[in-house]
Structure 1
């Protein structure tokens, strides 16, 4: 089996789910973070997904390679696939306060865990503040109604936002694309786009009808004192 074979098997399984009424193309696009047209072209065989894109789609639908293999191949060992399937990291889902304040996440603070392909997490570049380098790196927080209202459709109610706590910089992660951050605002954790103007952090919602919020920096403070981390991945409600 090669990548093209796997690509087609995943496409067929997604079409089956759509036909059964358990999935829609728009829902899949939202879950995997693609434009709806991109997913539509994929489902209609007009455009192929990259390996990273296929990973995102499979992750969003909790699909494994074994689930889409034909019965005669399911359970057989294929070089590289078995190791890849096993290489997952359990990311702790925690409260907002634990995400903001706990250097290492204690077992008592873990609400549950979500499995993420380790390769997807390792590919994230790091830019930690000096005192954050020893913090447990990845945590997940559940998007509540307040965050979802201001950030829809980027963040949906009940989705999991994976926070990379080793990116505390306001430097752009990708050219021409704003970073989405988890920001400390008093006792609250805010999920917003962020700008910096002189001595203020400017928290921007996705929807314009919601207000921009300002956080004034005190003497000796830097933006990194408020940046909990960069949202590196968003998973649909699980």
Structure 2
């Protein structure tokens, strides 16, 4: 929840491309911290696969319009990366302690849901009082329905990630989970008819090669 809050703050004050790049760093932090905490190491082939996947994801996220003179919001992007990394590490720790998956997910999403509902109610009252705000607003039913659909998809994703953490290497699971950007790209290509840039094609190719390397290392 904290990572998503920092992500929202970063996008509101900084360049989306910069925040996107920094928010792609969690797998790197996870590999380093998993080594420090649990002495988890990668084989040579796994390390090569991780580097290729990470390079591919980073190529996809990279944008040429970023310069050292335009780094507003960088601190929020780094906090996003750290807290997403902590989320992966705590998920791994729950599997190491053999915690019940249902109880873990209930506490994880229940606490976050209560805080987000409180925040939504506060902002909703502010919007009602602001008569000059002409932006379109969703109905309460639509807000709840869309939020429920998104929440269920997150629960399904976290269930899969926890299952992967229980049997896999933390850094590799984190890197593969970060490949959701590929699904977004494919969606934009197939349904929105958007074309891929050269960087996105290179990133996709590198990521697929990395997956193949990991597969061959099994």
Q: TM-score range by the shorter chain?
A: under 0.3
Q: Which has the higher helix share?
A: 2
Q: State the TM-score, normalizing by the size of structure 1.
A: 0.24
Q: Report which structure shows greater RCO (CA 8 Å, sep ≥6).
A: 2
Q: State the TM-score, normalizing by the size of structure 2.
A: 0.25
